[in-house]
Structure 1
Amino acid sequence: MKSILFFLLIVTFPALSSAQTPVSDTSQLFSLSKLSLSAYGSMVYQHFNWQTFRDKNNSIDNERLVIEPEYAFTKRLFLEIEIEFEHGGTGVTMEFDNEEEFGEFEIDVEKGGEVQLEELQLSYQINSHFSLKAGRIPVPVGLVTSNFMPVDYFSTTYNSVESVLLPTKWYENGLGLEFLFGGNNQFHGEILLVNGLDASGFSSANWVRNGYQLKFETVSADNFAFVSRLDYRLPNSLSIIGLSAYYGNSAGNRPKPDMEGPAFVGFYDAHAELFLNALTLRSLVLFGTLTHADEVSEANRNLSNNLNAKRTPVGSASLGYYLEAGYNILSFFPAKKSILNVFSGFYYYDTMAAVTGDVFDNPRWQRNEVRAGLQYIFNNQVSAKADYAHRWLGIPEDNIEDTYTIGFGFQF
């Protein structure tokens, strides 16, 4: 592993060094004309009618506001930053309460959301076919990694398959090579080396998703992962078909060295997005594997309560797939610049598709879902959505979860 890191650093450093140009006047280090800004956000209201949780409150969620500044140092060297405010952001205040007997200081959580530096990526364009990137970079597994803005997906929220099985909008720290080849650059590929997941966050309901390292000030980097992706763009079209893979150990990134063996996580997906005039089709099959899942389950069972981990048994494999279709009914009126997609989809995901050792294969985590709704897009920047999701679980009774959602989003 050390030799691989050394090789990538040797490859990356000369490219970045050659991109630097001498600057004699420090006042010219920053130019507003080289700075661009984009943003997107979304908000939803959800009404729940779940047999599994009959008292579940309806909710309004300021899902996310994302600010994306980008700075061009040169024509080839770029810095991309993404700052995300989730669920309205977060805030803590301290105040002195003099109404108590002797007075006391109180700390109040004013807002329970999150503020995250999602992306911090330095990119260098070697030529028209190859580019290097380093920093906190996107992990290109699945379709959400490229379809994350509100106009890019039909439903009010990201599809359940990727939201449950993968870290949503997945970024890790590392190095990457991006390349284009073929006639008209129809093939697009990526190869990455990034820090691995933390097995202490794995659980029954969400498999390895919560192994995404966000809890601590620093990211554990004793284990790394390899990621690859290859997409083929159909001729004279925006349609793509592709494959992606992720493989890396997660045992060494646990907060404490409480596992002797490895815990290798693998993800393998095949995906397609087809634009057929007014009809849009999206489909994905995602299969995941985890070695020594029974040992991970045992180690997680003994975690401290202070870590706020689920400590539930973990499956040795996961499986998910979906197919969704949307049709723009405003295509019958060519003068209309807006889009109104009527869509529906089927989604299947099982976070305990296989188990090892004495881990119980809980049918509760085998989930089927159908969803249907409307997506209105104005000026390719503002979207309003409404949908209904009907989900049924693998257990025999009280297994229905119905969710009604409306929402809106924007991007610029």
Structure 2
Amino acid sequence: TIRAGMVLVPLGIINEFHEPSTFFGALRPETERHIIPTTWRANGVGFIGSFDSGIGFRIYVLEGLIAAKFSAGGIRSGRQSGAKAIAEDLGIAGKVEYTGVPGLNVGASVFTGNSGQGLTDSLGNKINSPTTVFSIHGILARSGFEIRTLYAYSSIGDVIRLNSALEFSGSKSVGEEQFGYYLTFGYNILQ
């Protein structure tokens, strides 16, 4: 199936299914708020599909992030969310999941692309700021019990030049790498 328009970037567990009834508690896990900046949506085009074996996939070409809005807290503010998006630099996002066993979902996802969007240094040279976000996850649901785990990693290139162009230093600097993980347990008492 081809999908085009405003799409949810297929990363992690929560970004595509982000309403409160799909995660435990009132707040999203920190890892899926700061490293995977949920809810992350973008203009894009791509393919989604699945096989009888229980393997599903999604792959998109979409607007990239905008490095000029990154911060010491990560890439979250760099989401463009479609409206008036700068698409000088595009990204690719993809996800593969296995759901062939009832109650089991394991998968991996990645976004990668330059995030400079025309940003230049003091000499007029383009700052690419290549950005990659990667995650692996697992969900096991049985008899009302559910276990979820996720590991996420992000990296940003050209950070020295990026921080210089944005006049960031010290604790205000954009970092090169972030990672996080979580393991949660839940039980559906209403079942």
TM-score normalised by the chain length of structure 1: 0.43
Give the superposition deviation at 1:260. Answer: 2.5
Where 2:166 maps in the other structure, the secondary structure is helix
1:160-190 deviation digits (Å, cap 9, x = unpaired): 111112222111111010011133xx11101
Q: Which residue in the other structure is 2:176 paired with? A: 316
Measure the CA separation in 2 of the matches of 1:319 and 1:253. 27
Measure the CA separation in 2 of the matches of 1:227 and 1:220. 17
Q: 2:55 aligns with which of 171, 174, 187?
A: 187
Please give the root-mean-square deviation of Cα atoms over the aligned residues, in Å.
Answer: 1.9
1:358-408 deviation digits (Å, cap 9, x = unpaired): xxxxxxxxxxxxxxxxxxxxxxxxxxxxxxxxxxxxxxxxxxxxxxxxxxx
Q: Which residue in the other structure is 2:77 paired with? A: 210
Structure 1 vs Structure 2: percent identity of aligned residues? 25
8 Å Cα contact 1:300/1:312 also seen in 2: no
8 Å Cα contact 2:104/2:140 also seen in 1: yes
Q: Aligned AA for 1:181?
A: F
* Structure that is richer in strand per residue: 1
Whose Rg is larger? 1
Give the superposition deviation at 1:217. Answer: 5.5
Measure the CA separation in 2 of the matches of 1:286 and 1:238. 22
8 Å Cα contact 2:35/2:153 also seen in 1: no
Q: Relative CO higher for 1 or 2, CA cutoff 8 Å, sep ≥ 6?
A: 2
Give the superposition deviation at 1:253. Answer: 4.8
8 Å Cα contact 1:132/1:178 also seen in 2: yes
Equivalent residues, number: 186
Does 2:66 correspond to 1:198? Answer: yes
8 Å Cα contact 1:199/1:253 also seen in 2: no
8 Å Cα contact 2:48/2:57 also seen in 1: yes
Q: Which residue in the other structure is 2:164 paired with? A: 298
Give the superposition deviation at 1:290. Answer: 0.8
8 Å Cα contact 2:7/2:41 also seen in 1: yes
Q: For structure 1, list consecutive stretches of 5 or more residues without a partner in the other structure.
A: 1-130, 303-310, 331-337, 340-412
Q: Aligned AA for 1:198?
A: I
Where 1:248 maps in the other structure, the secondary structure is strand
Q: Which residue in the other structure is 1:156 paired with? A: 26
Q: Aligned AA for 1:140?
A: P
Q: 1:219 aligns with which of 85, 90, 94?
A: 85
Where 1:301 maps in the other structure, the secondary structure is coil
Measure the CA separation in 2 of the matches of 1:150 and 1:260. 41
8 Å Cα contact 2:34/2:76 also seen in 1: yes
1:124-179 deviation digits (Å, cap 9, x = unpaired): xxxxxxx0011111100011123312221111011111111222211111101001
Measure the CA separation in 2 of the matches of 1:268 and 1:253. 24
The 1:217/1:323 distance shift into structure 2, 3 A limit, reads closer
Give the superposition deviation at 1:274. Answer: 0.9
TM-score normalised by the chain length of structure 2: 0.90
8 Å Cα contact 1:289/1:318 also seen in 2: yes
Q: For structure 2, list consecutive stretches of 5 or more residues without a partner in the other structure.
A: none
Give the superposition deviation at 1:265. Answer: 0.3
TM alignment of 1:2-401, pairs within 5 A: 131-183=1-53, 186-205=54-73, 207-213=74-80, 218-235=84-101, 237-254=102-119, 257-258=120-121, 260-301=126-167, 312-328=172-188, 330=189, 338-339=190-191
